[in-house]
Chain A
Amino acid sequence: MFIKKGIAASLGIVIGKAHIIKEDNILIEQKEIAPEKVKAEIKRFRDALEKTKLDLDGIRSKVLTVLGKQHAKLIDSHHLILSDPLIVKEVPKLIHEKRFNAEFALSEILDRAEQEFEKIDDEFFHERKHDVFDVGKKIISNLVNSEKVSLKDIKEPVVIIAHNLYPSDTLHIRESNKVLGFCMDLGSKSSHTAIFAQSMGIPAVVGLSDISRQIQSGDCVIVDGERGMVIVSPTAEIISKYKLRQAELHKQEIFFHRLKGLPAVTRDGHKINLMVNLDSSSDKEELAALKSEGVGLFRTEFLYMNRNAVPTEAEQLKAYSEVALALGSLPLIIRTADIGGDRATQLGIKGLKDERNPFMGFRGIRLFIKYPELLKTQLRAIYKTKSVGPIKVMIPMVSSLDEVATVRRMAQSVKAELSEEGFEVKKDLEFGVMVEIPAAAIILDSLLGEIDFVSIGTNDLVQYTLAVDRINQYVSELYEPFHPAVLRLINLVVQTAHKKGKPVSVCGEMASDPYAIPLLVGLGVDILSVPMKMYLRTKYSVRTMNFERFSALAQQALGLPTSEQIRRMVEEEVK
Chain B
Amino acid sequence: MIKRDIRVINELGIHARPAGMLADTASKFDCELKLIKGKMEVNCKSIMGIMTLAAGVGSTLTVQASGKDEAAAVSEIEALFARKFEED
Q: B14-56 vs A: 1/0 string, CB under 8 Å?
A: 0111011001100100000000000000010111110110101
Chain A residue contacts of B19, Cβ below 8 A: 77, 80
The answer to whether the Cβ of B60 comes within 8 Å of any Cβ in the partner chain is yes
Given A128-B15, A132-B51: A80 in contact with B23 (beta carbons within 8 A): yes
Chain A positions 530 through 563: 1 when the CB is less than 8 Å from some CB of chain B, otherwise 0: 0000000000000000000000000000000000
Q: Does any Cβ of A come within 8 Å of B67's Cβ?
A: no
Report whether B58 and A308 are in contact in the complex, using a CB–CB cutoff of 8 Å: yes
Report the minimal beta-carbon distance from B64 to chain A, rounded to whole angstroms. 16
Q: Does A291 contact B (CB under 8 A)?
A: no
- Cα A132 to Cα B23 in complex, Å, equals 15
CB nearest to A119 among chain B residues? B52
Given the known interface contacts A73-B17, A84-B23, A120-B54, the answer about A113 and B48 at a Cβ–Cβ threshold of 8 Å is: yes
The answer to whether A77 and B13 have CB atoms under 8 Å apart is no
> In whole angstroms, what is the CA distance A74 to B20 when docked?
9
> Which residues of chain A come closer than 8 Å to B15, judged between CB atoms?
124-125, 128
The answer to whether A76 has its CB under 8 Å from any CB of chain B is yes
User: B47–A84 contact, CB under 8 A?
Assistant: yes
Known: A76-B20, A77-B16, A77-B17. A84 touches B48 (CB 8 A): yes
Residue with the highest number of chain B CB atoms closer than 10 Å, among A80, A85, A117, A308: A80
Q: Which residues of A contact B59 (CB under 8 A)?
A: 306-308
- The answer to whether the Cβ of B57 comes within 8 Å of any Cβ in the partner chain is yes
Q: Please pick, from A76, A116, A124, the residue contacting B52 in the complex, using a CB distance under 8 A.
A: A116
Kindly identify, within residues 115 to 129 of chain A, every residue whose CB is under 8 Å from any CB belonging to chain B.
Answer: 116-117, 119-122, 124-126, 128-129
How near does chain B come to A123, taking the closest CB pair, in angstroms? 10
- Report yes or no: A128 in contact with B51, Cβ–Cβ below 8 A: yes
The interface residues of chain A lying within 8 Å CB-to-CB of B24 are: 80
Chain A: minimal CB distance from B63 (Å): 17
Among B17, B43, B46, B59, residue most surrounded by chain A Cβ atoms (within 10 Å):
B46
Residue of A whose beta carbon sits closest to that of B24: A80
A86 close to B58 (CB less than 8 A): no
Q: Which residues of B contact A307 (CB under 8 A)?
A: 58-59
Given A120-B54, A308-B60, A77:B45 Cβ within 8 A: no
* A132 and B48 within 8 A (CB): yes
* B58 touching A306, Cβ below 8 Å: yes
Which chain B residue has the least Cβ–Cβ distance from A81?
Answer: B47
- B17–A74 CB distance below 8 A: yes
Q: Size class of B's contact patch? A: 20 to 34
Chain A residue nearest in CB terms to B57:
A306
Nearest Cβ distance between residue A46 and chain B, in whole angstroms? 18
Smallest CB separation, B87 vs chain A (Å): 11
Q: Which residues of B contact A126 (CB under 8 A)?
A: 54
CB–CB B46/A84 < 8 A: yes
- Point out the residues of chain A lying under 8 angstroms from B27, CB to CB: 83
* Residues of chain A lying within 8 A (CB to CB) of residue B52: 113, 116-117, 119-120
Kindly identify, within residues 290 to 339 of chain A, every residue whose CB is under 8 Å from any CB belonging to chain B.
305-308
Cβ-closest chain A residue relative to B60: A308
Given contacts A125-B51, A125-B56, A306-B57, contact A86 B17 (CB under 8 A): no
Decide if B45 touches A85 in the complex (CB within 8 Å): yes
Interface size (A, Cβ < 8 Å)?
29
Is the pair B54, A77 in contact by a Cβ cutoff of 8 Å?
A: no
Shortest distance from the beta carbon of A280 to any chain B beta carbon, whole Å: 12
Q: Which of A80, A122, A124 contacts B20 (CB 8 A)?
A: A80
Checking B17, B46, B51, B60 against A85 with a beta-carbon cut-off of 8 angstroms, the contacting residue is B46
Inside 8 A of A84's CB, which chain B residues have their CB? 23, 45-49
Q: Which residues of A contact B16 (CB under 8 A)?
A: 74, 77, 128, 131
In the complex where A74-B16, A77-B20 touch, is A86 in contact with B54 (Cβ < 8 A)?
no
Question: Nearest Cβ distance between residue B49 and chain A, in whole angstroms?
Answer: 7
Residues on B with C-beta less than 8 A from A120 are: 52, 54
Contacts A85-B43, A120-B54; A125 near B13 (Cβ below 8 A): yes
CB distance from B52 to the nearest CB of A (A): 4
Contact code string A112-152 (vs B, CB < 8 Å = 1, else 0): 01001101111011101101100000000000000000000
Of listed B16, B48, B59, residue having the most chain A CB within 10 A: B48
What is the CB-to-nearest-CB distance from B23 to chain A, in angstroms, rounded to a whole number? 5
Docked Cα-Cα span, A305 to B11, in Å, equals: 12
Inter-chain contacts of B13 with A (CB < 8 A): 124-125, 306
Q: Given contacts A73-B17, A77-B17, are A122 and B56 in contact (CB under 8 A)?
A: yes
Chain A residue at smallest Cβ distance from B27: A83
Q: Within the assembled complex, what's the spacing in Å between the Cα atoms of A73 and B15?
A: 12
Residues in A with CB closer than 8 Å to B48 are 81, 84, 86-87, 113, 132
Q: How far is the CB of A4 from chain B (nearest CB, A)?
A: 31
A533 to B76, CA, bound (A): 42
Kindly state the separation between the CA atoms of A125 and B48 in the bound complex, as whole angstroms: 11
Least Cβ–Cβ distance between B53 and chain A, in angstroms: 8
Q: Which 4 A-B pairs have the closest CB atoms?
A: A125-B54, A306-B58, A307-B58, A77-B20
User: Can you offer 6 A-B residue contacts whose CB atoms are under 8 A?
Assistant: A85-B43, A117-B51, A117-B52, A128-B51, A131-B16, A308-B60
Starting from the known contacts A77-B16, A125-B54, A305-B58, 15 additional A-B residue pairs (CB-CB under 8 Å) come to A76-B20, A77-B20, A80-B24, A81-B47, A83-B27, A84-B49, A85-B45, A86-B43, A86-B48, A113-B48, A117-B51, A125-B56, A126-B54, A307-B58, A308-B59
